[in-house]
Structure 1
Amino acid sequence: MSKEVVADLLDALDALGGGIHPGFRPVHARGVMIGGTFVPAPSAAGLTKAPHANRASVPVTVRFSIASGIPSFAENDPAGAGPQGMAVRFHLAEHTHTDIVAHSHDGFPVRTGEEFLEFLKAALASGPTAPTPPPIVAFLGAHPSAKAFVEAPKPIPSSFARQAYFAVNAFKFINAAGESRFGRFRIRPTAGTEFLTPEEAAKKTADFLDAEMSARLANGPAEFKVFVQLAEASDEVADSTKSWPATRSEVEFGTITLTERVDELAPDHRKLIFDPVPRVDGIDSAGDPLTDIRSDIYLLSGRRRRKAAE
């Protein structure tokens, strides 16, 4: 993927969010950060030799967010609150980490960076002065996975801690014996999922998800179970638009226990760049072209955010 395409993607995302918002991400701009701990399940070591799967525990920083690129976007507005995001940083040592980047929809609208740019440009060209039918209609008609993504229900949860999250890309997990399996991370709240009706959401405040997490943590930890859904031979591992059947087996990877809010806007936290590429021994890319393009965009926008925070 060329640097020009990455730059064009960032420009398009900025435009969809109403321009550059210094110090904020171009999408999932509004969020909350929470500190906690990850404890691996016994089965994790059989799947991968990655450090966080083979230690007693590691500290984590988790960021929950809504989809919009506008920092002030209301958390109860269905036009841009979903899908919600959950990014997890596993702190392995000083300046050493690995991440999971997930959102609340099982899949992604397009397969490649070029298709993603085409998708964004079609959306940008489909404003109030657009011809009839607008360009986005033609794009969705030619890309069934994007149409399914756009039309999929995205209900607003009662809490970030009552939502399930799906890592978009698949990875190759390699254990100490050299055995490998392809899989995708799945993160589910132990409290179960819970969603608001449109009428209930409309009565909430613009920052209700943020406030709810503070109130929840004041009464005790929030817990999530991490699983890896395993691919079978017939499953497409390099196409993030293809979800796998729910009947696929899962390996329990571990438990995330969140205990306290951290300041999302503090300079060190604002500079944090989550990376869709694991960059840890024992978990490799499965070859999905979106894995690297997402990483490149996150890095480019993250460097811009860091500069604004200086």
Structure 2
Amino acid sequence: MPFPSDEQIMKTAAGLVEQLQAIFGKHPGFRPAHAKGELYSGSFIPSAKAKELSIAPQFNAPETPVLVRFSNSTGIPNIPDTDPNADPRGIAIRFDLGGRKHTDIISHSTPFFPTRTGAEFLELLQHIAAGTVGDYLPTHPNALAFVQAPKPPPASFATQQYWGVTAFKLIDSAGKATFIRYHVVPEAGVHTLTDEVVKEKDANYLQEELKTRLASGPISFKILAQVAEDGDVTDNATVHWPESRPVIELGTFKLDAIVPDSAAKMKYIIFDPIPRVEGVEPSDDPLLEMRAALYLISGKQRRAA
């Protein structure tokens, strides 16, 4: 399957931004997807295994500062945390490598994606906007599986697990590549709520809960990596790898504060799904370039606003 040109990627990414804004409304200064969120700060400490698998600076420095954004789905900035459409929840992790250099991990709370390409995702959004998604889903099993996947509301952003749906290559000191997918797991354990319980919660219960939790101490997550074996699909985010694949721990990050003036910083920061750092390389998954283009267009709009 030929890769789209840069011009095609930018055209489709612009179409995705426009379609998301058509569905959720235009909200200057906010993201067209995962609009509601907040930034937290902390630090990451890598494991010994991470240093063996990758020469990336975040996996070899004793400690690296991180910025982490937790978010709700949709492009609606004030969507209630209790709304089922707020799932899947998102997490974006920025490793600050110094000298204005950084690399990011972007994940969400469902372990796969509804489409393989950005063009297919745009088609799905167009059907949602037109009210014909009921006709679309039966003939698109991957999108149907995503819609039907359980998405129980979290008790806390700090007790939610998050998956990186695209594959990456960790590169070691000998140049050996290991294909992995990230899995971010809370050290407090995974805890969800029933639909009945969540109905009684406040519209901002997740943000308020994190503030209360932080007052008692840092919030901790482990960054795990599921390792592919020969023959596993590495260019399609709709395909699961078998649960029997080995999982390794890459390290732990702890969050200890809400970023001051978080709202202003969120308008400026543009997370990047492509690593752009020595020691971690993108796979051939076509979503990576598309998402990077979409985030860039969105980020420029936010900064202009």
TM bucket normalised to smaller = over 0.9
Secondary structure, in 3 states, of the residue corresponding to 2:33? Answer: coil
Answering whether residue 261 of structure 2 is matched by residue 261 of structure 1, we say: no
Q: Who is 1:32 aligned against? A: 38
One-letter identity of the residue aligned with 1:165: Y
Q: Who is 2:22 aligned against? A: 15
TM-score (norm 1): 0.94
Residue ranges of structure 2 left out of the alignment (5+ in a row): none
CA gap of 1:266–1:207, structure 2 versus 1, over 3 A, is closer
Query: Does the 8 A contact of 2:38 with 2:266 survive in 1?
Result: no
Answering whether residue 190 of structure 2 is matched by residue 165 of structure 1, we say: no
Q: Who is 1:232 aligned against? A: 229
Answering whether residue 66 of structure 2 is matched by residue 60 of structure 1, we say: yes
- C-alpha separation between the residues in 1 aligned to 2:187 and 2:111? 19
Q: CA deviation at 1:263?
A: 3.9
Q: Who is 2:299 aligned against? A: 302
- C-alpha separation between the residues in 1 aligned to 2:69 and 2:179? 26
- C-alpha separation between the residues in 2 aligned to 1:69 and 1:247? 36
Q: Who is 1:104 aligned against? A: 109
- C-alpha separation between the residues in 2 aligned to 1:254 and 1:248? 19
Q: Who is 1:94 aligned against? A: 99
Q: Calculate percent identity across the aligned residue pairs.
A: 45
Answering whether residue 41 of structure 2 is matched by residue 44 of structure 1, we say: no
One-letter identity of the residue aligned with 2:111: D
One-letter identity of the residue aligned with 1:233: D
One-letter identity of the residue aligned with 2:215: A
Q: CA deviation at 1:264?
A: 5.8
CA gap of 1:153–1:224, structure 2 versus 1, over 3 A, is same
- C-alpha separation between the residues in 2 aligned to 1:246 and 1:225? 18
Answering whether residue 11 of structure 2 is matched by residue 4 of structure 1, we say: yes
One-letter identity of the residue aligned with 2:217: G
Q: Who is 1:130 aligned against? A: none
One-letter identity of the residue aligned with 2:22: A
Residue ranges of structure 1 left out of the alignment (5+ in a row): 127-134
- C-alpha separation between the residues in 1 aligned to 2:260 and 2:79? 19
Query: Does the 8 A contact of 2:38 with 2:262 survive in 1?
Result: no
Query: Does the 8 A contact of 1:162 with 1:191 survive in 2?
Result: yes
Deviations along 1:231-288, one digit per CA (max 9) or x if unpaired, are 0112100000011111110121000101011146443342101110000011111100
Q: CA deviation at 1:16?
A: 1.6
Query: Does the 8 A contact of 2:38 with 2:263 survive in 1?
Result: no
- C-alpha separation between the residues in 1 aligned to 2:178 and 2:11? 34
Secondary structure, in 3 states, of the residue corresponding to 1:43? Answer: helix
Secondary structure, in 3 states, of the residue corresponding to 2:281? Answer: strand
Deviations along 1:55-82, one digit per CA (max 9) or x if unpaired, are 100000000001021001000111x110
Query: Does the 8 A contact of 1:25 with 1:301 survive in 2?
Result: yes
Which 4+ runs in 1 deviate beyond 2 A?
263-270
Query: Does the 8 A contact of 1:87 with 1:99 survive in 2?
Result: yes
One-letter identity of the residue aligned with 2:39: M
- C-alpha separation between the residues in 2 aligned to 1:266 and 1:236? 38
- C-alpha separation between the residues in 2 aligned to 1:302 and 1:264? 18
Secondary structure, in 3 states, of the residue corresponding to 2:158? Answer: helix
Q: Who is 2:121 aligned against? A: 116
- C-alpha separation between the residues in 2 aligned to 1:21 and 1:263? 22
Cα RMSD for the two superposed structures = 1.0
CA gap of 1:8–1:264, structure 2 versus 1, over 3 A, is farther
